[in-house]
Amino acid sequence: KYAKAVVSEMGKMALVTADFRRAANYFETYSQKYPLDNESKNLMKSAANMRENMGDYDEAKKDYTFLGERQKVAEMDYLAANWAGLERSAGQLGNTLEGNYYSGLAKYRRGDFNSAKPFFQQAARQNGRGFNEQQMAAHSLFLLSADALRSFKRVQMQAGSEAQSIQIKNQQLAGLTSQLNTVIKFGNGKWTIASLYALGQSNVEFASFIKNAPIPNGLSGAQVQQYKSALSTQAKQYEVAANNYFKQCVQNAEKFEVFTVFVKGCLSGGEVEVDEEKDSVRPPKASSSSPTAAAQIRLKLYDDSRNTKLLQSLALAHTKNRDYAMSNLILSRAYEINPKDSNLISLQGVNYLHMNDFESAKVAFDKALKQNPSDGYALKGRAALYKQFKFSNKLKGVAAKAGRASVAREWLHPWM
């Protein structure tokens, strides 16, 4: 009886002092020992949420399995890049958009495109409810174009059959263009930008393919020059097309405020190679050790657990220690206590910048500015994103206010 009460109370005390990993351990122990208790389910949900936000995806998966939350189990496999595990957990979701997307992705990441294809096709046909499912459907369409991209890249120049090689590669480009235009018409910002980048890259490659065609034997000097000129003229139209795609990419990214590495690829005119898989940002795992300053702050929190300034100091200690996931979890706890303080949201955005999760940073800055249009960290963060992604028109609208904003410099990301 007493052990049960002690475990519960120690977990709650760890929670109010923002010692989240210890709190999760206590809550998990309680729920496993007393599964029929009224508090058991809520405590395990709390533990699972903390584990997920700390990046402890394997532990979070166990917690969600205990709770019978199949969708969250699959999501943890996805976040952990556990493709073998995802193939199993996705199968538990049935013929849903999420189940088909995760099944296709698990097979695709393991190199089995042929098996992945029907799952992506089914996911793309299903109606997405909400932003996440719509993004899954759009990503499925984009990955379906990967086969056409591979076919296009496989076509090499054959000596003696130059005209035929160019014709075959041109046909492959037309098929790829058709598939990528389908993704663009779907209307999801991130994968529209990715498709415009891929179209630009493909046209750059085809222009180079044409220009580097070998010169047939037996031509006179004048004929060689004429041949080169004809190739250059033919290649030029694809170079122009590539530049137009890259331009559309940047314009659309600025218009809809899409911050992904594909934009960087478009800004470089295709010189920066973008890996679709690496563009999938996964937050780093929170450190299992605390910064030196944390112990003294937590001692104060024992007596003043709702002091958001203390919690903010604790979060800063973790940020300085590059433990951004834990810092954000602490800031989230502080915001629960004081939801009127927009800084507790915008500072999470700063941490997302450190994690290179620009989309989450934008969401945090937008939320903070909606609550407080003068939030200094959000203004500086938004300006930093605009500057890095060369969104010059957007930057003009915020640069002056961001420059005047008063903030604590110790929190700032180098871009700010």
pLDDT number for residue 1: 58
Confidence of residue 375 (pLDDT cuts 50, 70, 90): very high
Same domain, 86 and 187: no
pLDDT number for residue 29: 95
Same domain, 158 and 261: yes
Q: How do residues 320-367 score in pLDDT, each as one tens digit?
A: 999 999 999 999 999 999 999 999 999 999 999 999 999 999 999 999
Same domain, 67 and 154: no
On average, the pLDDT of the chain sits at 94
In a domain, residue 115? The reply is no
Q: Two tokens at 324?
A: 């951004």
What's the whole-number mean pLDDT along residues 234-256?
A: 97
pLDDT number for residue 161: 83
pLDDT number for residue 281: 63
- Cα–Cα distance list, 139 to 19, 91, 143, 250, 374 (Å): 37, 19, 6, 19, 36
What's the whole-number mean pLDDT along residues 235-248?
A: 97
pLDDT number for residue 117: 97
pLDDT number for residue 128: 83
Same domain, 148 and 259: yes
Give the domain range for residue 311: 294-411
In a domain, residue 119? The reply is no
What's the whole-number mean pLDDT along residues 95-102?
A: 98
Q: Residue 315 pLDDT more than 80?
A: yes
The percentage of the chain sitting over the pLDDT mark of 90, rounded to a whole number, equals: 83
The percentage of the chain sitting over the pLDDT mark of 70, rounded to a whole number, equals: 99
pLDDT number for residue 2: 59
Same domain, 304 and 370: yes
pLDDT number for residue 185: 94
Contacts of 398 (CB under 8 A, 6+ apart): 379, 382, 383, 386
Same domain, 90 and 207: no
pLDDT number for residue 16: 86
Q: Residue 246 pLDDT more than 90?
A: yes
CATH classification of the domain holding 400: 1.25.40.10
Q: Which of 52-56, 145-149, 240-244 has the lowest mean pLDDT?
A: 145-149
Using DSSP's 3-state secondary structure scheme, residue 385 falls into helix
In a domain, residue 69? The reply is yes
Whose tokens are 């502080």? That residue is 334
Same domain, 82 and 187: no
In a domain, residue 255? The reply is yes
In a domain, residue 50? The reply is yes
Q: Residue 288 pLDDT more than 90?
A: no
Q: How do residues 114-164 score in pLDDT, each as one tens digit?
A: 999 999 999 999 978 899 999 999 999 999 998 899 899 999 988 778 889
pLDDT number for residue 91: 97
Same domain, 82 and 177: no
pLDDT number for residue 412: 97
pLDDT number for residue 243: 98
Q: Two tokens at 8?
A: 């519960």
Whole-angstrom distance, CA of residue 386 vs CA of residue 384: 5
Same domain, 405 and 300: yes
Same domain, 155 and 251: yes
Q: Residue 283 pLDDT more than 90?
A: no
In a domain, residue 276? The reply is no
- Cα–Cα distance list, 251 to 142, 182, 239, 245, 263 (Å): 20, 19, 18, 10, 10
Overall domain count for the chain: 3
In a domain, residue 235? The reply is yes
In a domain, residue 70? The reply is yes
pLDDT number for residue 12: 87
